[in-house]
Amino acid sequence: MRSSLLTRLVQAQNHLTQHPDPEIGPIQLLVFDAWRPVSVQAFMVEHAVKEECVRRGLQPTLPHWATALEDVQRDVGRFWAPPSDDRSTPPPHSTGGAIDLTLADQRGAPLNMGGAIDAIGPESLPDHHASAARANPNSPEALWHRRRSNLHAAMQHAGLVRHPNEWWHYSYGDQLWAWTVKASMAVYGRVDGH
């Protein structure tokens, strides 16, 4: 990851340290994924499509499933950036400016956030549990919403922006960041592997 992203992660962790969870005490960031080359992005998109086809009981190689496959590809595309080789439109993770992460307790065990990282579906939307949390402040959904909100507050405090469809994805300096903060251009382009 970019050093500026690492600096901001330290700021976010400091924010979390200053604001412990009222039920479990100190919490910390748990990094799931950061930089990935375009070739890995291509593999992950293909893998996500295959996994979603399996989950939906589809056999994408059969001609009569063509429309269903297009639906899967569209749904996966809401969460996975296309593995573009165009240097002007790099996938966020290929810039070194994007990171997927969650919260963990002080022993490093991930906290339940009400949806898995990389899940394809509405449970991945950052505010998916908000209405259930308002309806019942003592529900599991309220806990998950509070945790997602705490993660967002810490990351926002450090100058990172959240992907609109993914509670776990934050970035600094990539195209999503530039679009969100209305910068004239991204700070970072694609980083090629060695």
SS (HEC) of 118-154: CCCCHHHCCCCCHHHHHHCCCCHHHHHHHHHHHHHHH
| CA dist., res. 164 & res. 131, Å (int) | 17
Are the C-beta atoms of 140 and 133 separated by less than 8 Å?
no
Domains of the chain listed by start with CATH number: 3-36+91-113+124-181 (3.30.1380.10)
The one catalytic residue among 23, 46, 52, 166: 166
- As a whole number of angstroms, the distance between CA 186 and CA 15 comes to 26
What are the pLDDT digits (tens) for 50-77?
998 888 888 877 777 888 888 888 888 8
Catalytic site residue 52? no
pLDDT tens for 123-173 read: 999 999 999 999 999 999 999 999 999 999 999 999 999 999 999 999 999
Looking at residues 35-51, what average pLDDT do you find?
89
Cα distance between residue 98 and residue 105, in whole Å: 23
Q: What's the pTM?
A: 0.87
